[in-house]
Amino acid sequence: MTEDSVIIRAEKVVKTYDTGTARVTALQGVDLAIRQGEMVAVMGPSGCGKTTLLNCLSGLDYVNAGEIWLEGKNLATMSDRERTEYRARRMGFVFQVYNLLPVLNAVENVELPLLVSGRRPKEARARAMAALEAVGLAQWAKHRPAELSGGQRQRVTIARALVNDPAIVWADEPTGALDSHTANEIIDLIRELNERIGLTVVIVTHDPAIGDRCDRIIRMRDGQIVGETPGALGLGHKGWPVGAGAADGQAGGGVRPAATTR
């Protein structure tokens, strides 16, 4: 992996939660690198630190030690305001719960982040419609979330994540609330967007079928990365060198071999 192809890099990231009565080390020195245009699944048992990793990598939460670079920028050097602006400009988020505002219709939900970041209403509406089109929901633009199915709501969430034309989309159990047929449709859509517009996608999931649809599966246990495997299509289908890939412990540009992490 060449340095300039890396869009997300983490080195020796440690995250501790202090609840007053207990101290939990959720990330115990995570090293990771993700390529521009890669679609990566983060998998592992409940409580192993997947969501914490996603929150720390995306700058939603702070780390106790270690460094994170996104597009070559060190998160630690950004003020709170810079982080918030950077997230709004360059990232999209898709969570298990849709976080759609019930009083707004689909297009209003999708355009909201643009209006908040100061875009003109006309431009925001046009971009929101284009994003709904990209997820196959243009004809549902005027419907409120309550009038949409679970799969359609998640498509609206994906449209909202895409509307800023982000570099990275972070997804935490994006299909967790969906039946398996709808879950497959959603993951196919995310995959299509990844391949069509070169979006970098990081997905936290329990679902092995989703892992298989990704370029690479990063496996976590007890706050550490304990192994990596290519998805079912392998890294080669995007023209990446398989020999320098995940399975030999080198992808990630510094990810330790699984056997040494425990």
Q: Which residues bind ligand ADP (CB under 6 A)?
A: 17, 19, 24, 26, 44, 46-52
Q: In this structure, what token pair is assigned to residue 198?
A: 């070169």
Nearer to ligand ADP, 41 or 134 (CB): 41
> What beta strand segments (E) does the chain contain?
6-18, 23-35, 39-43, 65-70, 73-74, 91-95, 168-172, 200-204, 216-221, 224-230
CA torsion through residues 149, 151, 153, 159, sign? negative
- Total residue length of the chain: 262
In one-letter notation, the amino acid at residue 131 is: A
Smallest distance, ligand ADP to C-beta of residue 169, A: 18
Nearer to ligand ADP, 43 or 141 (CB): 43
Nearer to ligand ADP, 111 or 172 (CB): 172
Number of CB atoms found within 10 A of residue 89's CB: 12
Nearer to ligand ADP, 105 or 205 (CB): 205
Smallest distance, ligand ADP to C-beta of residue 84, A: 20
Smallest distance, ligand ADP to C-beta of residue 217, A: 14
Smallest distance, ligand ADP to C-beta of residue 111, A: 30
Q: In this structure, what token pair is assigned to residue 81?
A: 């305001």
Nearer to ligand ADP, 131 or 225 (CB): 225
Q: How far apart are CA 118 and CA 120, in angstroms?
A: 6
> What one-character-per-residue DSSP string does 187-221 give?
HHHHHHHHHHH--EEEEE-S-HHHHHHSSEEEEEE
Smallest distance, ligand ADP to C-beta of residue 50, A: 4
Nearer to ligand ADP, 50 or 119 (CB): 50
Q: How far apart are CA 98 and CA 82, in angstroms?
A: 26
Smallest distance, ligand ADP to C-beta of residue 96, A: 11
